[in-house]
Every structure is written in structure tokens, then in C-alpha cells.
Structure 1
């Protein structure tokens, strides 16, 4: 695995918005008074007439986005993930998803890596909330390169999309030429002993764990599940048949997220042993991103420990 640089996904998001704004006049961007944090201000500086700061009014922002979609625009709405999926849940459900409007939610500062803002701001149930709504597509990019691909794919498809965007600088390690298709996971490394399914920032940790496991004679596959909904059932079943042992890794509660989605597929298609690594039905807390990842076991070391325990 080659790390090209470190770059925050939210920075890549803002830069890609500017590029898309030049290509498509139907794209409009909304923010709930957090434009510098979400980086939508980059779009606002370039295309003032297509940028709307609705203030600290996330529920209203979803209604405005719905109205813009009805009139033919492609609205992209941003705020922190905890506010966009939690505070505005009813508006997302009834105003955007129920009529299947073409609104994209690019919500940043997701998971425990929000850091010092603490448990009140750390969304560890947002994937569960969004994937439970009919008509909603849920995408979780793993690095800055994939963030760009994901946003482009989202605006090119019709219907509601939730893009989960991480806050901190993180390794850029995916290939710019690698395909990105909504609903199709990327097998980053094949293997026969155990399959590690990861999403978001945890993909890098999974690849790091697989490299170290290889040194110990353990052949671990790594699958980048960038789309949580629709989940790639084919790759889950294929890896289950090959390895008989599955690990899921997510910066999210183990309830309702990637691990739950994989468990649903396995229970119906190919029951095998599954271990879910994530936040174990707890709230977040204040700390640096690295401290919190260590505290909740969201590290390559814990992935390695889990894999070795499963193989005993």
C-alpha cells in the first residue's frame, strides 16, 4: 500500500464542488452556517448566486433543498452529520426520500474522529438512520480520491444520496484509475483465510492489518465497502464461501451500520462466522481522533487481534 499524502475528505469535497459547479449550472449548494468547516465556502466564493447559507436551521435547509430539486436543480446540502441525519431526520425522510427527490446530503464531521467536540457531536448512528429510509443511497468514501469519485457519482444518479464525509486529514492511498460504481464494493486485496470488510477511514486500517497479518502467514482479504446501501451482496457471499470468516470494521455503532448490513446478507445467503468491529453501543466522548480510535478499538492492531482469534 502506497500512501501518496494526507488530506481531509472534507477538503476534497469542497474542491470537487467547485469543479462540478463549472461543469453543471443545475448544481446548487446549501449549508447550515458551517461552510468553512464543511468547506462548501469554496463553492460559495466561486458561485455566489448558487450558494445558500440557511443559518442554523438544518430542518429548513432540507425543505429548501427539496423545493430546489422540484424546480429542476440538483441541490447538495451540507452540515455536520449529527445535525443532518439526526435533527433533520423527519425532513429527510418525509420531504426528500418519500417523494424520492434528487437531493444529495454531503454531511461532514462524522464518527468519533470529530474529536474534542465530544459525544454530542459524534454521529455513531447516522448510517443506521439513513440506510433505514426507503429510496436513500448511502455512500462512505475512504480517502480524498474516492471522495471525489463518490460526489461525482452521486450527482450523476437520480434520487436521494447520503455521503458520509470524515473530518480529519487521513492517508490518500487509493488508485485514481480504480473504478467506482455505486453499489459495487472494491476488493483491495484478495485472500483465503479471513475477509475484512471495511468502510470509510477504516479501510486504511484494514489494509494495514492485512499487510501485517501476511508477515505472520495469514492471508486476509480486504474489501472496501464504499456503498452501504445498496450493499454489494455478491462480494459478501463470495468472500463468505471462500474464507468462512468475516470481519466488519466501521467508525460507527455496530448496531445498524456496515456490520449489521453484512449480517443481514449472511443470515439469508451464506451463514458464516462474523465479528463486528465498531463502537459497541456506546456514545462518543471528548479526545483527539487518534485517542478515540484507540479507545474504541478502531485500529489495525485490533483488527489483527480479532482475525487471529477467529483463526484459532
Structure 2
């Protein structure tokens, strides 16, 4: 019942806008959406504490195993809201511009984006396997992501994602799609895979500015940094584990599970960064601009920081304090 009402709301207010009356109604629409998400969230937390998520409202409406069509709807609403938040005018049902989009309206629509992202985050967590759920959602989001023409819209979609597991999966699929070649042995998400993407991927996205080629490489480095940060959070917060079991791992202070593919050296980092710089310089026929150099510096710092942390953790395990 709850999602049925929400579906009618979104079909009316997020797919197309209808002028002044809709402008005046937007605050109440946002409040209604807040009520829906808060109801889902409160029930989710209560049933989680009771270890009874299978009886939660979220399970009955946002389960990727049982009600994936509802999750598809949330994804569609989310993308429409992201596009609307960057639109200069609203349109009627025929696509005719009827009303300028004010800053206040844009802020309210961005609030809707955050609320819908919360729904997706719940959808990732409510079933037994967050990994499988995020994979299903990412498979739907990826082609939609490719169709988004503006970088600002893509960044809003990624930056507003609550689920690090889902963000990492969408970015991984995107880089897999744009790899010039695939490794002889498939790599799991790891530091080695991030380095592989750096050396072999080229984003296949649309750009509108004359500086599109530089924007492509800049966005690629930005997404690699996002992928790195998402991966680190997946490890440290045990996000691949079912939410009902995750709290026990945190209480017991279980260490993140590193793999052999996370064992990278400073030489590995520099080798792949240099390969990226050489590739971009050859393709562009120009030296790297300062903005791109700063992105490279940030990624180098992140990778070296992770390398140092992994090495410290290994030493601690081999020689625990007495």
C-alpha cells in the first residue's frame, strides 16, 4: 500500500512537471516522501534489532529477491530527479517549457534525490546478500548512467549514493565496459584492479564542452578515487556481510579481509600512474593540465596510504603486541 501511493506520487511529480501549481505543491511532496522513507527506516531498524528483517516493510516492498520491479521504479525516479535538479525549466506533459527552475526548487529536488538514494541503500541491505542485491541494482543503473549526458548529473548521482557497495559496483561495471583489454585472470575488486583500470580503461561517456577530452580523463581519475574510497569502506565496515551479522563483526573488531590483490608496492603505483600519464599525453598531444596533475597526485596519495596501512596490518598480525 505504501509503495502504491508513492508510485502514484512519483509518476505525477518526478516524470513531468506541470507549472505553477506543481511549484507550490513541491514542499508537501517532499514532506510526503520524507514520511515514506522515515517509515521504512524506522521499521527497518526495529526489525533489524529483533533479527527479523524478513518481516519488515522494506522487505515487502524493496526486496531485490522478491520485489525487484519496485526497486527499478526507485531507480527511474532517482534518475528523473537528478536530471530535473539540473534543468533550467520545468516542462508539461508535451515537453513544453512552462516554468523556470528556481534555486529553492532545485534544492528541494536535490532533497528528493537524497531520499530516493536512502531507499536504494535499504534495498541493498534488506536481503541476505548485500553483494547480490548491489549487483542486481548496478546492472540496471549502468546503462542508465551511460545515457546521462552531463558530467554534473553523473557526479550528483554518484556522490549522493549512500551505499558504498552499490557505488563501487556501478563504477566497476563502467570501467570493465571501457577497458581496452581484460586481464588474463579476472581480478576481484581490489587495489590491483584499480591500478589495472588506471592503465587500461578509457571512459566511454558523452561530453558537451570543447574541453571534452580533458574532462574525460579528469572524470576517470575522479571515479577511480571514488572507487578506492568505496572499496576501503566496504572492507572496514564489512559491507559485503549481511547487515544482521555485520554488527557482530564490528563488536568483535574483526579486521578487514585483505587479498593478495591488495598487496601492491610503491613501484606498482608509480608504474601504472606513469603509464596513464604517457597514454593521455600521446592521445592528447599536449602536456597534462594542472587539474589533471592534481587528480593524479590525490590518487597516488590514496594508493600509497592504503599500501602502508596494509603493510602495517600484516606486521601487526605477524608480531602482535605482548
Q: Which has the higher contact order (CA 8 A, sep 6+)?
A: 1
Larger radius of gyration: 2
The answer to whether the superposition gives a TM-score over 0.5 is: no
* TM-score for the superposition, normalised by structure 1: 0.31
| Structure with the larger strand share | 1
